[in-house]
Structure 1
């Protein structure tokens, strides 16, 4: 049994959804596809697929084998490209998950420049502020902001992210500028829902939202004080629509990370994107220049 060919047959069956379609794609007969899969299961000593007359379902062992087999086949393809001098020929679909506000404000130029450098890569960029499961949901890379929990995933730090207290000049003229954190209880505070309450325990929250852009725009309109990352508030701070306050109480910076599943099984498209985004935003990042 050719184990590599059997692995490729199995992955193709799963991707295509049937033995007949897999056989057509591989240029084999359905009988040979079925025989190859049976030999692979016998060799591994586990059942990979539960078959019915209409369709097949992955077993628990099959799911684990499928995920690893995809990585192995992609790694082999990547190695062959490198050995043939085509290591820069990244190709395929690159699935990226990214936070909504950050992506809208900062990712479009990066993605366009990346695709100009790697025209054979199709970028599937999905925006979501929740913490996606990159393996279960099929993402190659997730961009995340904050302090990361320990996990089996690999994280590459891309840029620092500063958080600033800020308010519109008009609001500060009316309500005064707080001198310390205790003074926040006398002010209107615009709270980001995902932020730990311990950061602003004395604040009087009058508006809560899970989107930082909403809070920045509300602050610009004079609704109160907001604690927001500079990558969102940058334009407003630069244009004077917002003014930084409580600088002595600025929280410790957090960071932007690229998170991915396996360092040793990186496909060319993933490695190329990680190399491309590394240092792209500058040191310090351009959104801290205001």
Structure 2
């Protein structure tokens, strides 16, 4: 028995849903499909599929074997692609989801440089601050900022992200500079809707928004104190329209991550982008040089 061929046949049967469809996919006879699966089950000593005249269902052992078999086959295919040089020929549509403010401020140069390096890749960049379901919504990569929850997806850390408390000099001259987080209760606070609740101080929220640029602009107008990432606030801090406060109470840095599906689904266009973005912004990133 060719174990690799049997493994590929089994995975194809599961993906196609029937012996007949798998046989058509692999251009072999249904009898060969049945014989190969029988030999594989005999070799493993377990039943992988419960079969009836109309359908089949994975057993518990079959589900485990299917997941591992997919990975093994994907690794083999990936190795062959790299050895043949095809891994360099990234092509197709690369769908990326990214946070609005970060993408507007920092992604255009990266995407343009990437497409110069990989001219056969079309980038479909969709901006959204919510956490998209990359599999259900058909994204290859999602860029996310924050602290990641446990997930079956793969996360690649791209760059650290600092959060700073900041306010306009005129506001601080009028209302005073808070000495600690408790003192924020006496101040006007501009709250980002998606902010991790552990970062939210006990302050009077006078404005809420799901967009950080709006909150930074409001802070520049003297509306109150905001807690915002430096990739948004750096320009205003550099020009003096904002200044940082409570530096000793600055939250631990979070990070920008690239989220993608299990590496068994990693196409050359995805791998190329992940390699390209790795280290692109620097560590510390260039926006922290204000």
TM over 0.5, shorter chain: yes
Q: In the superposition, relative to structure 1, how do residues 89 and 198 fare at CA in structure 2: closer, same or farther (>3 Å)?
A: closer
Structure 2 gap ranges (5+): 1-67
Secondary structure at the counterpart of residue 165 of structure 1: strand
In structure 1, distance between residues paired with 2:73 and 2:104: 34
Number of matched pairs: 289
Secondary structure at the counterpart of residue 138 of structure 1: coil
In structure 2, distance between residues paired with 1:196 and 1:283: 23
In structure 2, distance between residues paired with 1:170 and 1:216: 15
- Deviation per CA, 1:72-114: give whole Å up to 9, x if none: 9987875554333233111111111111111111111111111
2:171 is aligned to: 171
1:209 is aligned to: 209
In structure 2, distance between residues paired with 1:72 and 1:98: 31
Contact 1:234 1:288 in 2 (8 A): yes
Contact 1:216 1:232 in 2 (8 A): yes
In structure 1, distance between residues paired with 2:196 and 2:81: 46
In structure 1, distance between residues paired with 2:181 and 2:256: 26
In structure 2, distance between residues paired with 1:164 and 1:201: 13
Contact 1:71 1:265 in 2 (8 A): no
In structure 2, distance between residues paired with 1:225 and 1:164: 10
Q: In the superposition, relative to structure 1, how do residues 73 and 137 fare at CA in structure 2: closer, same or farther (>3 Å)?
A: farther
1:100-139, aligned counterparts within 5 Å? 100-126=100-126, 127-132=128-133, 134-139=134-139
Secondary structure at the counterpart of residue 88 of structure 2: coil
Q: Give me the CA root mean square deviation.
A: 4.3
Q: CA deviation at 1:228?
A: 0.3
Q: In the superposition, relative to structure 1, how do residues 72 and 90 fare at CA in structure 2: closer, same or farther (>3 Å)?
A: farther
Q: CA deviation at 1:201?
A: 3.6
Contact 1:158 1:257 in 2 (8 A): yes
In structure 2, distance between residues paired with 1:184 and 1:281: 33
Q: In the superposition, relative to structure 1, how do residues 195 and 140 fare at CA in structure 2: closer, same or farther (>3 Å)?
A: same
Secondary structure at the counterpart of residue 244 of structure 1: strand
Q: In the superposition, relative to structure 1, how do residues 150 and 198 fare at CA in structure 2: closer, same or farther (>3 Å)?
A: closer
Q: CA deviation at 1:215?
A: 0.2
Range that drifts further, 162-171 or 259-268: 259-268
Secondary structure at the counterpart of residue 251 of structure 2: coil
Q: In the superposition, relative to structure 1, how do residues 80 and 217 fare at CA in structure 2: closer, same or farther (>3 Å)?
A: same
| TM superposition score normalised by structure 1 | 0.74
1:257 is aligned to: 257
1:268 aligns with 2:268: yes
Range that drifts further, 176-185 or 262-271: 262-271
1:283 aligns with 2:286: no
Secondary structure at the counterpart of residue 263 of structure 2: coil
Q: In the superposition, relative to structure 1, how do residues 268 and 198 fare at CA in structure 2: closer, same or farther (>3 Å)?
A: closer
Q: In the superposition, relative to structure 1, how do residues 119 and 76 fare at CA in structure 2: closer, same or farther (>3 Å)?
A: farther
Q: In the superposition, relative to structure 1, how do residues 237 and 69 fare at CA in structure 2: closer, same or farther (>3 Å)?
A: farther
Q: In the superposition, relative to structure 1, how do residues 168 and 112 fare at CA in structure 2: closer, same or farther (>3 Å)?
A: same
1:1-290, aligned counterparts within 5 Å? 79=79, 81-126=81-126, 127-132=128-133, 134-290=134-290
Contact 2:71 2:264 in 1 (8 A): no
Structure 1 gap ranges (5+): 1-67
- Deviation per CA, 1:181-238: give whole Å up to 9, x if none: 1111111110111224443342111001111111000001111100001111111111
In structure 2, distance between residues paired with 1:211 and 1:72: 43
